[in-house]
């Protein structure tokens, strides 16, 4: 069939495609998915997308009502902190650290504090970095310029800590991520709390974080390569190394299992020489105690044998025969396991 643009090939399938499109439109207009299906309701990766939840929820509620069905609302969803963007790898200095961080992590998450709809009951905060981000973070430290570890040249985000070449940028990045997640959790709790409630009363440890009927859960896993960088931090007390850090346990306990395990491993390795020295000393003490006990018992046995010989008026041969079992028994007692 000729057309102004050339030729158009006619196909008997056109009519079928038209019917299929009409059927598809009809299905979509009546489609009501399961709001708990994560294959349909993907994690939200942008703060602005939170505002669309109300519109989306209202759409499915209207569709369900029109067909006499019930819609349970989108009661749970996941926030994905990482943006998915990967910055260009350069030789980094302190001046462009925050620009790089802002590329990997959206810095506008705090704009969504008051936008969590009231029908949401369970919120998951996923801190899992995509593989490309992990690779980038590792290369960031590997290719970085040599840095001066003094606080005046390149400060650490935690007061009292020194910048460590080879891991400093990952440390700085993850401390920032933890602060973003912490601020986001606190902001959401604050926006949902009753005016009469003190925010401190809203935290429940170690079972999680909740306010009213909303529960917040930090999910994901800190990759081991990132935990290895963080665990090298030295200086003032660190969250995950504090036994009494309820705050850290309440927010990040599941996400930071690798970090906590690595910290414990380094601590155990650091005290291993002291434990071995203590065990060696205990073995020496036990040997000395055993020797002294054997000598004391032998003397006691000999004294007892002499008293028996004198008491009974035994001859020299009879006395020697009496002393032998006392000496043998003393040696067996001190040389045994008791």
Predicted confidence (pLDDT) per residue in 286-330, tens digit = 788 788 777 777 777 767 767 766 777 766 676 666 666 655 555
Q: Residue 229, class by beta-carbon neighbours within 10 Å (0-12 exposed, 13-18 middle, 19+ buried)?
A: buried
Can you read off the two tokens belonging to residue 26? 């009809």
Number of residues written out for the chain: 338
What distance, in Å, lies between the first and last C-alpha atoms of the chain? 107
Contact status, residue 240 vs residue 260, Cβ threshold 8 Å: yes
Q: Mapped to the 3 state alphabet, what secondary structure does 25-83 carry?
A: HHHHHHCCCCCCCCCCCCCECCHHHHHHHHHHHHHHHHHHHHCCCCCCCCCEEEEECEC
Tokens, residue 315: 């001859």
H or E segment to which residue 143 belongs:
helix 131-143
Which are the contacts of 208, defined by CB distance < 8 A and separation ≥ 6?
A: 215, 216, 217, 250
| Residues of the chain under the 50 pLDDT cut | 1-14, 148-157, 201-207, 236-237, 242-245, 333-338
CA dist 86 to 67, 82, 223, Å? 45, 10, 17
pTM over 0.75: no
225-280: per-residue pLDDT in tens?
888 887 776 654 455 554 334 555 556 766 767 666 666 665 565 556 666 677 77
Q: Where are the domains of the chain?
A: 34-255, 277-335
């Amino acid at each position: 069939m000729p057309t102004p643009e050339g030729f158009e090939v006619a196909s008997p399938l056109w009519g079928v495609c038209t019917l299929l499109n009409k059927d598809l439109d009809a299905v979509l207009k009546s489609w009501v998915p399961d709001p708990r299906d994560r294959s349909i309701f993907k994690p939200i990766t942008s703060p602005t997308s939170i505002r669309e939840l109300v519109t989306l929820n209202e759409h499915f509620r209207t569709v369900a009502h029109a067909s006499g069905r019930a819609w349970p609302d989108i009661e749970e969803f996941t926030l994905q902190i990482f943006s998915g963007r990967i910055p260009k790898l350069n030789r980094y200095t302190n001046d462009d650290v925050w620009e790089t961080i802002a590329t990997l992590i959206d810095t506008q998450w705090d704009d969504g504090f008051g936008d969590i709809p009231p029908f949401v009951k369970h919120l998951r905060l996923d801190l899992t970095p995509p593989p490309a981000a992990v690779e980038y973070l590792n290369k960031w430290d590997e290719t970085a310029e040599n840095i001066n570890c003094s606080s005046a040249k390149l400060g650490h985000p935690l007061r009292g800590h020194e910048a460590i070449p080879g891991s400093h940028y990952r440390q700085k990045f993850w401390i920032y991520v933890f602060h973003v997640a912490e601020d986001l959790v606190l902001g959401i709790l604050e926006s949902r709390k009753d005016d009469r409630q003190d925010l401190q009363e809203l935290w429940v440890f170690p079972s999680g974080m909740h306010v009213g009927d909303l529960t917040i859960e930090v999910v994901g896993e800190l990759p081991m390569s990132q935990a290895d960088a963080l665990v090298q931090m030295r200086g003032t007390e660190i969250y995950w190394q504090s036994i009494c850090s309820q705050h850290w346990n309440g927010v990040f306990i599941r996400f930071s299992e690798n970090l906590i395990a690595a910290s414990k491993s380094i601590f155990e390795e650091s005290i291993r020489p002291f434990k071995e020295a203590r065990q060696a000393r205990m073995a020496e003490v036990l040997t000395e105690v055993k020797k002294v006990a054997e000598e004391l018992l032998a003397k006691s046995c000999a004294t007892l044998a002499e008293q028996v010989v004198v008491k009974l008026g035994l001859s020299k041969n009879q006395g020697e025969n009496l002393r032998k079992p006392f000496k043998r028994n003393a040696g067996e007692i001190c040389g045994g396991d008791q």
